[in-house]
Amino acid sequence: MVDPKSPRPDRLRGLREVVDGPLHGIAGRFSRFLSTRWPHSALVIFTRECTGRPRKVAGDAEMINRVTIDELDQLKARADPGTPVAANAMIGGVTRAVWVVLDPVDTLLVLVPRTPRKRLPEADELAGFFGIVATSIRQQVAQASPDYLAESRAASSERARTITEMVAAHESTLLSILTALRSAGLDDRRARLTATETASAALVALRSAQESDLSLSEEPASAAFTKLRKNIRQLLKHHEVCLEFIAPGKTARPLPGEVAYAARAMTRTVVLAFAAQPRLARLRIAWSCDGGSLLIDVRDQEAGELDVSTLSRELAGRARTLGAAVDLDAVPGWGSRANIALPLDSPATHSGEPRLTSLNTREHEVLRLLAQGKRNKAIADELGVAESTVKFHVTGVLRKLDVASRGEAAALARNAERTPPAPAR
């Protein structure tokens, strides 16, 4: 990794290495880039736009694994956008010296310096580097590529499962403490009252943490549509088109985060395709929910000159990743329509198992490393084979699993790992 003290062209190439790669590894790459100039033991990037992994971390595992969403929210509340600071704050359950940068796009960087200092060295340059990284993260999330969606969906599912198990275990423990402390057999009234209040407060905090974490994994359908409406008006501000928006009902089921991002991205793609028609006077954009799916309906009147084949190709990647059904039609002189049904729930986790059994031993090894986010060169180094051999095996894996991308294959592998074996008959 290029040292940020090096000449400017080398620094820019080094920064390109940071933003060029899988989103889930960007914290590690950025940490290595900053390590010489801003020595630190831990790095955290926090953005609520990444529903699967809002915290991107690198460094001391014991420390970063204890960093909570609440701690990061409190740091954001104290920080001024674009003004990096050195401060003392609660991170990982302990008050530590930290360097904090809040980018104007609302993405937070926290560094835990190896040697605490009263001032953050070269703060403006650090803010500049982070601004490029934060913008890259925002753009990758907004584009909602198939690989990102597959990774995000897998992370969201695992996150929800972990939260549920954690809450159940802690709630059971705290309720047991409360029961014991409320027992008439304890005669120290003041101690019992204090302990009861403490345990009650812990229960409230725990339940609030669950609600906060779950809120990162989903968006109210109406709020997601409001964001879309603003996007569309901005996109078509130079088009003389009458826009009609039909929002989902207030009782519509909340959308998983990756579905909300994909729905906005796919709707924007459709709208731009409709806007490319030479004669477009009116456009109707509607979202609705049928319980199990988000239904996207876009249609015009009279134009009917939609390039159906091109739009179908543009939507195919996201549709395949999330199991969406796409129906496009255009009749010149009558109108065009686009209907997309996005499932709100992940596909059945066992659906890929029969395909996984078709892989040979080496292909299973390649898929395991691919599911860890490793690129071909890293896989080749670990297996002790040529990179061209890895490319050959990856092609075979994609063909046998009947998937179009590494992200889909990785998601299928992760789902299979989480699926319990079938009961014996």
| Amino acid present at 343 | P
Per-residue pLDDT of the chain (425 residues; tens, 9 = 90+): 445 555 455 667 778 888 877 676 788 999 999 998 999 999 999 987 665 567 888 998 888 888 888 889 889 988 888 889 999 999 988 999 999 999 988 899 999 999 888 788 899 999 999 999 988 887 776 665 555 555 555 555 545 555 555 565 566 566 666 665 666 565 566 656 666 766 666 666 555 555 555 455 678 899 899 989 998 988 888 788 899 999 998 888 888 877 888 888 899 989 988 888 888 888 999 999 877 889 999 998 776 788 888 898 888 877 876 778 888 888 887 889 999 988 887 654 444 455 677 788 888 888 888 887 788 888 888 888 888 888 888 888 888 887 767 777 777 776 665 444 444 33
Query: What was the pLDDT predicted at 334?
Result: 85
Helix, strand, coil percentages, rounded to 5, for the chain: 50, 20, 30
For 279-314, b/e burial (b = at least 16 CB within 10 A) is ebeebbbbbbbeeebbbbbbbbeebbbbbeeebeeb
The domain 8-143 belongs to what CATH superfamily? Answer: GAF domain (3.30.450.40)
Query: What was the pLDDT predicted at 423?
Result: 40
Query: What was the pLDDT predicted at 319?
Result: 80
For 54-82, b/e burial (b = at least 16 CB within 10 A) is bbbbbbeeebbeebbbebbeebbeebeee
- C-alpha 392: how far from chain center: 30
Query: What was the pLDDT predicted at 34?
Result: 93
Query: What was the pLDDT predicted at 178?
Result: 66
SS3 call for 7: coil
SS3 call for 43: strand
- C-alpha 167: how far from chain center: 22
Q: What are phi and psi of 90, to 5 degrees?
A: -80, 115
What are the DSSP E strand ranges found in 117-270? Answer: 218-219, 242-246, 255-256
Topology annotation, domain 353-418 = Arc Repressor Mutant, subunit A (1.10.10)
Q: What are phi and psi of 113, to 5 degrees?
A: -65, 150
- Whether residue 225 contacts residue 261, with contact meaning beta carbons closer than 8 Å, is answered with no
Topology annotation, domain 219-343 = Heat Shock Protein 90 (3.30.565)
Query: What was the pLDDT predicted at 157?
Result: 54
Query: What was the pLDDT predicted at 381?
Result: 87
Whole-angstrom Cα distance, residue 84 to residue 69? 20
Structure tokens given for 360? 């040979």
